[in-house]
Amino acid sequence: MLYFISTPIGNLKDITLRALETLKSVDIIFCEDTRHSLKLLDFYDIKKPLKSYHKFNEKERVADIISYLNEGKSVAVISDAGTPVISDPGNVLSTALRESGAQYSVVPGATAFVPALILSGLDASTFTFVGFLPEKNKDKDALIKSVETHPQTLIFYSAPHDVNKDIKYLSEKLGDRKVSAVKEITKIHETAYIGTLSTLEIEEPKGEFVIVVEGAKQTSKEFELSEKEHVELYIEKGYSKKDAIKQVALERGVSKNSLYKYTINNEQD
């Protein structure tokens, strides 16, 4: 059995009893940074073989991990902080395990975006977790375009050297919305910076950040349109027919299937 195990995002005491029991029971632990993970394991007096598993060797390690499982060994996979797979290495492995029929489970626990959302004071009833912005501008623009009209609160991860640049970029693409940038979650210097995208700037940023952005306000003008006109509006903005359907369905609270008739020729009544 393989276990994806959540580890603390700051405070070493934020780990579950089940996580500790599982880490003590496995034969080997794969982790992002062996030196970083050793601090956690030493804190709880857990002595297990450690092997690196990070974004630069993820594909190569998959075969090794499956080999261990085939030998009957139990394996744990952890990231430096939080839950593996979620904006951390692990997705390639989980896909390979599912395809191979290998057994795996998840030992849940800490993740940064939930406390950040609560600390932001923004609407937490529905939200869209976006994660880190891509490095390439083309990919970044495409990602933001897909969520720019979401009425749900948007959640991003950002490194300290990127946070002000990311806030400025989001301001340019999303307009001036309420925002919270949260750092050092669960640590002594935990801070939630509150402002708007056009004005917020972090002085000497340190630590990983979670940026929480207010969702798009729905304009009455859009809802004065018929469903067909609403779909055509997004197509005119450059959306593909599929993406236009998806966006209108989200905004109007209807099924995508009910809207497909409007894009067969883009001329039907």
pLDDT tens for 113-128 read: 999 999 999 999 999 9
* Residues 259 and 166 reside in one and the same domain: no
* Residues 131 and 146 reside in one and the same domain: yes
Residue 259: what pLDDT?
83
* Residues 103 and 117 reside in one and the same domain: no
Q: Are 213 and 177 in contact (CB under 8 A)?
A: yes
The tally of domains found in the chain comes to: 3
* Residues 103 and 119 reside in one and the same domain: no
Residue 264: what pLDDT?
57
Residue 219: what pLDDT?
60
Range of the domain at 52: 2-107
pTM beyond 0.75, yes or no: yes
* Residues 24 and 44 reside in one and the same domain: yes
Enumerate residue ranges in the chain where pLDDT < 70: 218-224, 253, 263-269
pLDDT tens for 73-110 read: 999 999 999 999 999 999 999 999 999 999 999 999 99
CATH number of the structural domain spanning residue 142: 3.30.950.10
CA distance 137 to 160: 19
Choose among 18, 78, 77, 23: nearest CA to 48: 23
Domain end position, chosen among 67, 83, 107: 107
CATH number of the structural domain spanning residue 36: 3.40.1010.10
Residue 94 is inside which H or E element, if any? helix 91-100
Residue 95: what pLDDT?
95
Question: Which residues, in sequence order, are CB contacts of 74 under 8 Å at separation 6+?
Answer: 1, 2, 3, 25, 26, 27
> DSSP labels for 127-145?
EEEEEEPPSSHHHHHHHHH
CA distance 182 to 201: 12
Task: Look at residue 269 and tell me if it is in a domain.
Answer: no
Residue with tokens 């062996």: 34
* Residues 230 and 194 reside in one and the same domain: no
Domain end position, chosen among 47, 77, 107: 107
